[in-house]
Structure 1
Amino acid sequence: MSTSQPDASRSYRDRTTPDKLLHARTGTEVSPEDVVLAAGRDLTPRNLEWAKRKLEQEGPAALDKLLP
């Protein structure tokens, strides 16, 4: 039976995702739900209001600031 453990013989560079493949957005509109989830918060009315205010103040960059 095989396991899903990473192959220890692979180099560090082979196991990491290159920066050019990491994207915060796909060109689509950013929703308050996106901001809440990117912040690691639960989808509650209070958190959605917080996200709406954050998007109004910072625009789509609000999501980029939350993601690495």
Structure 2
Amino acid sequence: MSTSQPEASRRPSDDRATPDELLHVAPAQASPDDLVLASGRDMSPSALAWAERKLASEGRAALDKLLP
């Protein structure tokens, strides 16, 4: 008879942090709309143009910089 508790071993421990890849789920490709909304700007042609330039120069990192 074993004293191990397999169910308890599958539950996350309270003393460990959850890895980021389990906490943050986002689309692989950010759109200009995503960037405008994350920046808190109003959706306008000039804001979309700004977002397109930002995504062209920085890629996905442009959105990652704005989100926690």
Superposition TM-score tier, normalisation by shorter sequence = 0.5 to 0.7
Contact between 1:24 and 1:64, CA under 8 Å: does it hold in 2? no
Greater gyration radius = 2
The match for 1:48 is 48
Shift of the 36–23 alpha-carbon distance from structure 1 to 2, 3 Å rule, reads same
Structure 2: gaps of 5 or more residues: 1-17
Residue 41 of structure 1: how far off its partner (Å): 0.7
Structure number with the higher helix fraction is: 2
- Structure number with higher relative contact order (C-alpha < 8 Å, ≥ 6 residues apart): 1
Give 2:49's aligned amino acid: E
Structure 1: gaps of 5 or more residues: 1-17
Matched, 1:65 2:65: yes
What TM-score comes out, normalization by structure 2 length?
Answer: 0.63
What TM-score comes out, normalization by structure 1 length?
Answer: 0.63
Q: Percent identity of the aligned residues?
A: 58
In structure 2, C-alpha distance between the alignment counterparts of 1:56 and 1:64, rounded to whole Å: 14
